[in-house]
């Protein structure tokens, strides 16, 4: 007995090319040529939506059954909450669980065909690994492009006329079998490379480095060192990365500049990965550091000489008494006194005091001042919730509550950095450039 386990991709069930030709997409062609008795469809949130529109996937098998006089059964494994379809760790356990369930339902002697031509790269790679490493009989099947890459696919997924496409389907008239068993002697390593590439593009350097470490006999020391550099960089381990031979990948090698800019890039990655709560928690250190930088480099004001350092904690307290001892300090104290209802009292140095001074000294309409206000407003409204409560905050919450998106806040960070002399135009994609270099080296391995 054969069954087919298949992820469903946007090209399924029928592929329409720009030359107006229509062919079976992957799962339908496997069903046509290999005739499994059952098909298990694995559906992400997006695919569930298309399925709800017109039942196109199950209906395509019904049309094939009528055409071939077969009786292939279909089952749907719906994952309406599955959005992160590019992440490997979303699938492995779930696929393994579903395949085990298929075996339980049909007996361990069943042959499971896995479609490794549909779905995202992470989905296909996961199935390749399961097929390669499983103790059960799992056969990975690929389907070749009927146009041999000459034409691009084009289809309106919202208005999908399956009956019309089925009548035009070239595979109903010809006998070309485009399925083939996916295997070669370097298969496992190729799968691991694809996984590493997906992990690198998802900024998951820890997983990529761990995976690469298992293949030290095939991965040269320079590439492994580059992956370790990327991991240390993501972890903001400046003491290591600034002395690493790969530090040329950093836009800035000076300690203070590097720390601020690298932290800013990390906030950008938190946005890219949808980690809104981590982004909010990271706002206060950013504002503290950027305010300190702005005071020193824009206004030539160093508050540290007016601070007492607590011996046990190392925390700096901005002292009222020390401010009163110099003319410059008295000027700063007057600004702080005006900002606090009962006058300024000695307190831990924070971004609040520094922002008060910056707002007073800067032109209210300056780009730097406006950028700081945008970020400070977000800190006041959302940061404490993220830091002190068990909560979930999504970008939709920011848009509805503050009328700004994550992109708006990233733009504010870029503006602040630009005003402080950092080259955001050429260096804001620094992680992407690093990823490209790592992947280029990885692709040279065989």
- For residue 314, the model assigns a pLDDT of 84
Give the containing element (helix H, strand E) for 127.
helix 121-133
Domain termination residue (choose one: 143, 162, 183): 183
pLDDT the model gives residue 107: 86
Instruction: Indicate whether 223 and 144 sit together in one domain.
Output: no
CA distance readout (Å), 122 to 163, 185, 192, 396, 446: 31, 21, 11, 27, 20
> Residue 61 falls within a domain, yes or no?
yes
Tell me: do 148 and 19 sit in the same domain: yes
Does residue 199 share a domain with residue 101?
no
Domain that holds residue 346: 268-422
> Is 347 found in the same domain as 309?
yes
What tokens appear for 8 in the block? 């469903």
Largest CA distance in the chain: 96
Domain limit, last residue, from 183, 207, 237 = 183
Helical ranges in 186-317 per DSSP H: 187-201, 205-213, 221-234, 238-241, 255-272, 276-281, 283-299
Q: CA 323 to CA 319: how far, in whole Å?
A: 6
Pair (11, 131) in one structural domain: yes
Query: Are 22 and 148 found together in one domain?
Result: yes
Task: Compute CA distances 34 → 111, 179, 244, 354, whole Å.
Answer: 12, 9, 54, 70
Instruction: State the CB neighbour count (10 A cutoff) for residue 335.
Output: 16
Domain assignment of residue 202, yes or no = yes
Per the domain annotation, does 223 fall within a domain? yes
- Percentage of the chain exceeding pLDDT 70: 94
Are residues 206 and 94 part of one domain?
A: no
- Distance separating alpha carbons of residues 125 and 113, to the nearest angstrom: 15
For the entire predicted model, the pTM comes to 0.59
Task: Report the number of distinct structural domains present in the chain.
Answer: 3
CA 32 to chain centre: 36
* pLDDT score, position 385: 64
- In whole angstroms, give the CA distance from residue 6 to residue 34: 14
Report the alpha-carbon distance of residue 5 to residue 39 in Å, rounded: 6
Residue 427 lies in a domain: no
174 and 239 inside one domain:
no
Q: Is residue 147 located within the same domain as residue 209?
A: no
Mean pLDDT, consecutive 10-residue segments, the chain of 446 residues? 92 86 92 95 92 93 94 93 75 87 88 90 85 77 84 78 91 87 63 87 93 78 95 95 95 94 96 89 93 93 92 89 92 92 90 93 85 91 64 75 88 96 96 96 86
Q: Are 47 and 160 in contact (CB under 8 A)?
A: no
Q: Is residue 259 part of a domain?
A: no
Closest to 153 measured CA to CA, from 6, 7, 8, 12: 12
**Residue 185: predicted pLDDT:** 43
Which of 183, 214, 240 marks a domain boundary? 183
Residue 50 lies in a domain: yes
The answer to the question of residue 117 being in a domain is: yes
| Residues 78 and 162 reside in one and the same domain | yes
Residues 299 and 384 in one domain: yes
How far apart CA 217 and CA 316 sit, in angstroms, is 50
Q: Are residues 105 and 128 in the same domain?
A: yes
């Amino acid at each position: 007995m054969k069954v087919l386990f298949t992820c469903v991709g946007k090209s399924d069930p029928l592929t329409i090319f720009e030359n107006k030709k229509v062919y079976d997409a992957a799962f339908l062609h496997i069903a046509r040529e290999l005739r499994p008795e059952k098909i298990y469809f694995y559906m992400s949130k997006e695919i569930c939506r298309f399925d709800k529109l017109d039942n196109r996937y199950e209906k395509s098998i019904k049309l094939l059954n009528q055409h071939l006089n077969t009786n292939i059964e279909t089952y749907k494994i719906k994952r309406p909450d599955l959005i992160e379809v590019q992440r490997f760790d979303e699938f492995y356990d779930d696929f393994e669980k579903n395949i085990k369930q298929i075996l339980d339902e049909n007996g361990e002697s069943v042959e499971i065909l896995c479609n490794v031509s549909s779905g995202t790269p992470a989905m296909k790679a996961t199935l390749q690994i399961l097929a390669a490493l499983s103790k059960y009989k799992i056969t990975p099947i690929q389907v070749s492009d009927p146009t041999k890459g000459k034409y691009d696919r084009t289809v309106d997924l919202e208005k999908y006329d399956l009956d019309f496409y089925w009548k035009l389907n070239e595979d109903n008239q010809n006998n070309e079998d485009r399925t083939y068993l996916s295997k070669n002697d370097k298969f496992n390593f190729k799968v691991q490379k694809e996984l590493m590439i997906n992990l690198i593009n998802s900024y998951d350097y820890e997983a990529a480095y761990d995976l690469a470490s298992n293949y030290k006999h095939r991965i040269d020391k320079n590439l492994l060192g580059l992956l370790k550099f990327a991991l240390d960089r993501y972890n903001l381990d400046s003491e290591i990365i600034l002395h690493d031979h790969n530090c040329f990948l950093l836009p800035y090698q000076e300690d203070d500049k590097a720390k601020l800019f690298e932290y800013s890039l990390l906030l950008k990655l938190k946005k890219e990965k949808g980690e809104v709560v981590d982004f909010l928690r990271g706002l206060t250190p950013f504002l503290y550091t950027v305010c300190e930088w702005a005071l020193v480099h824009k206004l030539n004001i160093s508050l540290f000489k007016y601070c007492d350092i607590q011996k046990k904690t190392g925390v700096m307290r901005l002292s009222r008494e020390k401010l009163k001892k110099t003319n410059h300090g008295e000027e700063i104290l007057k600004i702080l006194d005006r900002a606090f209802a009962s006058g300024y009292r000695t307190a831990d140095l924070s971004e609040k005091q520094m922002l008060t001074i910056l707002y007073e000294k800067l032109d209210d309409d300056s780009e730097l001042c406006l950028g700081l206000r945008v970020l400070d407003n977000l800190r006041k409204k959302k940061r404490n919730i993220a830091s002190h409560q068990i909560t979930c905050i999504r970008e939709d919450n920011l848009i509805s509550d503050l009328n700004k998106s994550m992109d708006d806040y990233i733009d504010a960070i870029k503006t602040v950095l630009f005003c402080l002399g950092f080259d955001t135009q050429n260096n804001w994609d620094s992680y992407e450039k690093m990823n490209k270099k790592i992947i280029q080296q990885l692709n040279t391995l065989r």
